[in-house]
Chain A
Amino acid sequence: MNWEVVIGLEIHAQLATKSKLFSGAATSFGAEPNTNTTLVDLGMPGALPVFNKEALRMAVMFGHAVNAEIGMTSVFARKNYFYPDLPKGYQTSQMDHPIVGSGHLDVALEDGTVTRVGITRAHLEEDAGKSLHEDFQGMTGIDLNRSSTPLLEIVSEPDIRSAKEAVAYVKMIHSIVTYLGICDGNMAEGSMRCDVNLSLRPKGQQEYGTRTEIKNVNSFRFIEKAIYSEIERQMDILEDGGKIVQETRLYDPDKDETRSMRSKEDANDYRYFPCPDLLPIILEQSYVDDIKASLPELPTQKAKRFEEEYSLSEYDSGVLSSSRAMADYFEIAAKVSKNTKLAANWVMGEVSKFLNQENIEINQSPVSADALGLLLSRIEDNTINGKTAKDVFQCMWLGEGSADEIIDKKGLKQVTDTGAIEAMIQGVIDANPAQVEQFRASEPDKRKKMIGFFMGQVMKASQGKANPGLVTPILNKLLNG
């Protein structure tokens, strides 16, 4: 049978506030267990939550970025369940009145098509702590550093039809939240986590099939793989005439399979009710409007501007605007070097290559955007050629100094004296009489190919310092002469 895949995603983005959603404790990652905590995060008797207004501002920013209705009155509700790392016995979340209502995103796919994904809602909630099962001799350790860290849970409509679409959507959300500066987007540290709701139905059928939820998938690659594996699992069952059990599943990246965590029957009755310790959040229109007006340029807007302003291709614009850090890096390099196309090629080429090799982000690059810009400007003004620039870049990457310092120290300045170049070319011609003879005996179209050999020899003779722009005409003249 021909099956249609139906996917809805719930993304938890940890908001980049300095302090927690309901306490003044720091949100920094990696502190000693239970040190980033206050009475509130520990669930002490008598402790009361105080709402972090910064989280509110961030949630409203996100709402605007996905064209959503903003909840002018939103209400915190308690989601009640027992778990050792849930210190109060309830999670403070939002239920009936979320801060962000329905919106949508137009997601561009690799093949150039665009699909619209509806966003049901996004709500604020606090994270739980962590249970540590190792090193406690059969006991469980509890670390409440993460307790009450602010999360924005972004719930999509079941509008996604493939693993590729899902990943493109998640990447877009990732790029939006990092652009807005409301989430660091670090999936490995759990700053962004994804739950995948997936079902299959015969193509053309209106009703949805029974779905499963795959919890806490924490990388783009795992999202894609988990979806493929779950589609396969469900399809096998359905093709065999079986039924899908509604349940929560976990993706195991080592075995590349999902496995059952708990069925619907075991699901908690969360007994949601409005949290009596927190007043409803009532927003003024001016507050919402001010945030909208001060929204930074978003990825799609930036890509469009790059295309128009810098005459870059759609593809290049998309790559360069995929993260705010990369876009900023590119724009600075472009401005300093005064050659946008060159800057674009370098950021997507050499810089990305080095970043990938070391598996670091562009904002961690040892070569700053300014430094790269200065290097590129040395290509622009013919001080060095592109090939030498790559060597200089490597030295810069290793911390050997600025482009000018390295060029100076290593004597890499390009030879631009035409007399010296002519002498060098003459030397190459004299040293290769057979090749010269062959060249001169050839048809003009063949000559073009052969000239590469002479160019290579000249560059070798000059240790790469000859300006190729000057070499070509002189070489042509002398060879043809």
Chain B
Amino acid sequence: MFDQSIRSLAQKLRQKEFSSVELTQEYLNRISSIDPTLNSFITVTDELALKQAHAADEAIAGGNTSPLTGIPVAHKDLFCTEGVLTTCASKMLHNFIPPYESTVTGRVKMAGAVTLGKTNMDEFAMGSSNENSHFGAVKNPWNLDTVPGGSSGGSAAAIAAGLCVAATGTDTGGSIRQPASFCGITGLKPTYGRVSRFGMIAYASSLDQAGPMARSAEDCAYLLQSFAGFDSSDSTSAETSTQDYLESIEAPLTGLRIGLPKEYFGEGLDSNVAQIVMNAIKEFEKLGATVKEISLPNLNLSIPSYYVIAPSEASSNLSRFDGVRYGHRCSDPQDLLDMYMRTRAEGFGKEVQKRIMVGTYALSEGYYDAYYVKAQRIRRLIKEDFVRAYQDVDVIMGPVAPTTAFGLGEKTSDPVAMYLEDIYTLSVNLAGIPAMSVPAGFSNGMPVGLQIMGNYFDEAKLLNVAHKYQQATDWHTQTPSLVKGA
């Protein structure tokens, strides 16, 4: 039951093989037995879930359904959910109950899905290992001594362990794709502007994008379909109309032009990971695709550029957490400055404080041109690299991360090594293009993801390419022994 597709579950719900209440209860039971080990949820909304499941059953009985009606999903804990604790995995918001619903979660709700709860993450989405959470680290279901990746580590681990059918994530520098790769699931970061950011607690506004995470590309397509599209509440949301992500998902890949950027296969890439990626490419050739080496020359500049732009925006975005209106406030403030300083020193974790300081520095008078302006210039170069590449190819493929999931605590003392984790994912966010992580094999028992990058607003193509690959392979259907055992 816990490894079935949305399509199959939806069909069984409609055929009354089981009800959504029964399905939901099964998932809730499973969460309570398995999640104490994984720590993938911050909040489980049992009551709400069963209420929604009941409503879904009524809708199904009335014949009034969408593909997601009655399907149990989870949301990363940075989407504001009305009346439901939303913490961003931070002490700063340990008590924050939003008075409103984010566009993404609201649309998923409208589509009839059942919300099981809110998933763990790196605090304010800052991190690549899910170790920066006020609520503790999340463990990788494939090996409990390793990280699930981050920042959407809770969502990825929950899906891999069969604790929810699908989940939302957000991706600012790889936060959907890298945990998807580490946990052996499928995740899509859409084009910047494709999905509304309204109600998503901001990390770096010009890079943040919400996307679907699930076992398969097809499941991702169902979830994305429910929440993609223009939203007048988000000025950066694109007015470009959405595609039907399922309509073209079965199209053959004959003639598909794949670009392989040579910079993605250089020093630092684990040889097993490289081999697995190349095997996947061969599979695509069998499916009728042609492969061409390309160059994205400014890849190596993506890390410095990202680690100026993202902290700069974060330093400003996180200023609102001042203890005045909501969230944590230090006890007994002596005066205003004392309240600000202690509230923020106590409320933010170390990584968040580090990025606020880096960003504040980069925007300071006298440094702004040297850092922020230069980083934006690099960003334009990176974007141009992609625009040029897509003149000759339809999709670009490469690894998601240099290695498989690393050990808990292994990189926490080496921030540069941790930042290098993001080398293959950051440039996608800087350019604003869509990209996916698709399970492509195992290295020493740990999943390896293939990254597929697409042209602007070409999510349908990405999903089609990933889906055809998943029809030809079974990497995405593998489940960790944890799932089988339970």
Contact = CB atoms under 8 A, between A and B. Distances in A.
A39 B100 contact: yes
Interface residues of B, number: 45
Given A47-B199, A89-B320, A89-B322, 18 more contacts: A44-B98, A44-B326, A45-B86, A45-B88, A45-B96, A45-B321, A46-B197, A46-B202, A48-B235, A50-B233, A50-B235, A51-B235, A82-B340, A84-B336, A87-B320, A89-B319, A140-B336, A271-B368
B482 interface: no
Given A48-B235, A142-B324, A89 B316 contact: yes
Interface in A37-65: 39, 42-51
A43 B327 CA distance: 12
A182 to B, nearest CB: 23
B316 A80 contact: yes
Contacts of A89: 316, 318-320, 322
B232 A50 contact: yes
Contacts of B325: 42-43, 87, 142
Given A45-B93, A273-B372, A88 B363 contact: no
Given A45-B98, A278-B235, A84 B364 contact: no
Interface residues of A, number: 29
Nearest to B231: A48
A279 interface: yes
Given A48-B235, A273-B368, A277-B205, A82 B319 contact: yes
Given A45-B96, A46-B198, A271 B363 contact: yes
A49 B93 CA distance: 21
Nearest to B92: A45
B206 interface: yes
Nearest to B324: A84
Main secondary structure of the interface of A (DSSP, over half): loop
A271 B340 CA distance: 18
A111 interface: no
19 contacts: A43-B325, A45-B201, A45-B321, A48-B235, A80-B363, A82-B340, A88-B319, A89-B318, A89-B320, A89-B322, A90-B316, A142-B324, A271-B316, A273-B313, A276-B205, A276-B206, A276-B236, A277-B235, A278-B236
A12 interface: no
A142 B339 CA distance: 15
A273 B202 CA distance: 16
Interface of B: 78-80, 86, 88, 93, 96, 98-100, 102, 197-202, 204-206, 232-236, 312-313, 315-316, 318-322, 324-326, 336, 340, 360, 363-365, 368, 372
Contacts of A49: 235
Contact of B364 (A44, A271, A277, A278): A271
A20 interface: no
Contacts of A44: 80, 98-100, 326
Interface string A77-115: 010101010011110000000000000000000000000
Nearest to A39: B100
Contacts of B200: 46
Contacts of A84: 322, 324, 336
A272 B367 CA distance: 12
Given A45-B98, A278-B235, A88 B320 contact: yes
Given A51-B235, A273-B316, A46 B102 contact: yes
B205 A43 contact: no
A68 B236 CA distance: 29
Contacts of A135: none
Nearest to B199: A46
Contacts of A32: none
Contacts of A254: none
A269 B205 contact: no
**Nearest 4 pairs between A and B by C-beta?**
A89-B319, A276-B205, A271-B363, A276-B206
A273 B235 contact: no
Nearest to A139: B333
Contact of A45 (B313, B320, B324, B360): B320
